[in-house]
Amino acid sequence: MILSKYCASGNDFLIFHTFEHKNRSEYAKKMCNRFYGIGADGLVVLLPYAQNSDEKGDEEAISELDSKQIAYQWEFYNSDGSIANMCGNASRAVTLYAYHNNIAGLKHNFLSKVGVIENNIQNIKSDKEALVQSNLGKFSFEGSFVESRRENLYDFELIVVGIPHLVCKCESLREFDGLLDDLEFLSQLRHKHNANVSIAFRENDVIHYATFERGVEGITQACGTGACAVFASFREFDKSYTLIPPSKERLIVSSKNSEIYFAGLVSLVATCVV
């Protein structure tokens, strides 16, 4: 089997395409292990688009999906083998993979568990690197929470961008760094609310952020849906923002027609024969 390793703004994924539908949770755990496998934040499988049984009972849904000219559908696995409904950076990584492997063009759509994802390769930098934008669709605000930690109170907001994120907007870089170092607290919140936990600090039009991700169970170098949830939390939808994750690679996030778009670099790291 040939696995391609792609990196999207610091988030790395193993990707392949096949015609076979099956559960690959154990395979994902094995291959994503950074000591005994290849190492990655997730495994992505591209499959031919096929209407499932739920869609067959809804002619309107079938018509809507067909009108969007879906190039393929995917299965996404976290590094712990769990299945995730969505991963923003992986959506950009598979876009470049599909283009490299002649599965789809520069602009195309694919089907995820949260719906159709629109993608656009905006600028090809080299034969291995490109600037890729994804439209993650609509988002929703699901409530606010106050959490306490060591006599400090923190305001969190639950925002769903395909998957749920608890977002905390820090008032200072010191507060941001303090939360970033407190992995025990972030892990507690992740399990308490069954959500990713994103923290952010804004300096003018630049937002520094980090996400403690479900399935990875730690801070990742970048999180696409986390960037979009943080962007939404500021509620300034007429602006575009530069978001900087721990990888220090810049993501450009904007909104149009109540949908969130984000763009960043994607690169092919290696092709592995296993």
Q: Scan for tokens 């040939």, then name that residue.
A: 2
CB burial readout 35-45, b (16+ within 10 A) else e: eebbebbbbbb
Give the C-alpha separation, 60 to 65, whole Å: 9
3-class SS at 215? coil
Residue-wise DSSP of 31-65: HH-TTTS---SEEEEEE-----HHHHT-HHHHHHH
Number of C-beta neighbours around residue 152 at 10 A: 12
E strands within 204-258? 206-213, 218-219, 241-244, 251-256
Taken as a whole, the chain contains a residue count of 274
Give the C-alpha separation, 161 to 174, whole Å: 27
Amino acid (one-letter) located at 106? L
By annotation, the residues acting in catalysis are 87
Give the C-alpha separation, 6 to 205, whole Å: 29
Give the C-alpha separation, 133 to 135, whole Å: 7
